[in-house]
């Protein structure tokens, strides 16, 4: 790769990953505070959700933190120092706090291997840009109860597995493998290449959810609160299904709609195997 192309990519990464925070964000993850502690964390294999640095901090070890974060493609967000003071538990954050997932994320291949070991067709939930940790926790709980082999979530524009997510899941995060991927649509294509059919949930679909065959290797996508599935994600689906609605309110909570479709899939799979 030539130096000009590398320089352009570096600038784009910096533009996209070092941001000014403009609103409250969920920070109910485990926190690692202080420059040396965050550097050692970045050198480890531990999954990091994000890093907050104080605005204007661009000297010494902060530069090393940003460099290491760039190498690992961890998002770095600039915040006011008083905001860091609010998040800090030690009160000695030295201008940097990292937020770490309370669970160990798995690879998508790990999920597929679990299905293979059980002699079952893959049954996967994909949460597309779910931002509310309560919704994600409820979806993970439903996925575990319905017998999903794993859950896939994107790294960007979505909540990771936080302490709130783990609590709302009532322990399901300890039992169902969760993969957190850089590019959801690339992951969807990889699943399709491996024989997994992609079923998206959308109110504009022509097929009712219980009319769709969900007995084979499938991944069910539940879109974000309000916006639904990303347009590109929807385009990459093999099938789209909807839930019939008779009331004046024309949308369901993401975790509710996800649960309905997941348990229809479970019902079909149990009947198919009986």
Mean pLDDT in order along the chain per 10 residues (274 residues): 48 44 45 89 84 83 92 90 88 89 89 97 95 94 97 89 86 92 95 97 93 97 85 94 87 91 97 87
Tokens of 91: 């009160």
pTM to 2 decimal places: 0.73
pLDDT of residue 12: 47
User: For the chain, which domains are there?
Assistant: 14-100 (3.30.1330.30), 108-273 (3.40.1280.10)
Q: Which tens digits make up the pLDDT trace of 185-206?
A: 999 999 999 999 999 999 889 9
Query: Which SS3 state, helix, strand or coil, does residue 240 take?
Result: strand
User: How many H helices and E strands in the chain?
Assistant: 10, 12
Q: Which tens digits make up the pLDDT trace of 231-261?
A: 899 999 999 999 998 888 877 889 999 999 9
pLDDT of residue 138: 96
Treating both helix axes as pointing N-terminal to C-terminal, what angle do 61-72 and 3-17 enclose, rounded to 10 degrees? 100
Q: How far apart are CA 202 and CA 219, in angstroms?
A: 14
Sheet of strand 218-222: strand arrangement: 178-181, 150-154, 123-127, 218-222, 197-201, 239-242, 207-208
Note whether 130 and 254 are within 8 A (CB): yes
pLDDT of residue 21: 38
Note whether 215 and 272 are within 8 A (CB): yes
């Amino acid at each position: 790769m030539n130096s000009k192309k590398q320089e352009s990519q570096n600038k784009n990464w910096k533009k996209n990953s070092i941001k000014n925070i403009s609103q409250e964000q969920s920070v109910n993850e485990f926190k690692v505070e202080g420059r040396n502690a965050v550097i050692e964390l970045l050198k480890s294999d531990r999954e990091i959700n994000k890093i907050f640095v104080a605005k204007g901090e661009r000297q010494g070890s902060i530069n090393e933190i940003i460099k290491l974060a760039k190498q690992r493609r961890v998002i770095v967000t600039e915040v006011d120092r008083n905001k860091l003071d609010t998040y800090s538990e030690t009160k000695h954050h030295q201008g940097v706090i990292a937020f770490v997932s309370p669970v160990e994320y798995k690879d998508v291949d790990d999920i597929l291997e679990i299905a293979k070991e059980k002699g079952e067709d893959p049954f996967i939930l994909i949460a597309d840009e779910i931002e509310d940790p309560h919704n994600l926790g409820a979806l993970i709980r439903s996925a575990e109860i319905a017998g999903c082999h794993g859950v896939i979530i994107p790294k960007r524009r979505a909540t990771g597995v936080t302490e709130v997510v783990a609590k709302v899941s009532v322990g399901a995060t300890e039992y169902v493998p969760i993969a957190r991927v850089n590019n959801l649509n690339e992951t969807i294509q990889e699943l399709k290449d491996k024989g997994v059919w992609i079923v998206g949930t959308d109110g504009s679909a022509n097929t009712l959810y219980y009319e769709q065959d969900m007995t084979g290797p499938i991944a069910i996508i539940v879109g974000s609160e309000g916006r639904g599935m990303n347009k590109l994600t929807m385009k990459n689906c093999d099938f789209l299904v909807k839930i019939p609605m008779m009331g004046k309110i024309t949308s369901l909570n993401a975790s509710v709609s996800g649960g309905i479709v997941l348990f229809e899939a479970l019902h079909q799979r149990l009947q198919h195997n009986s």
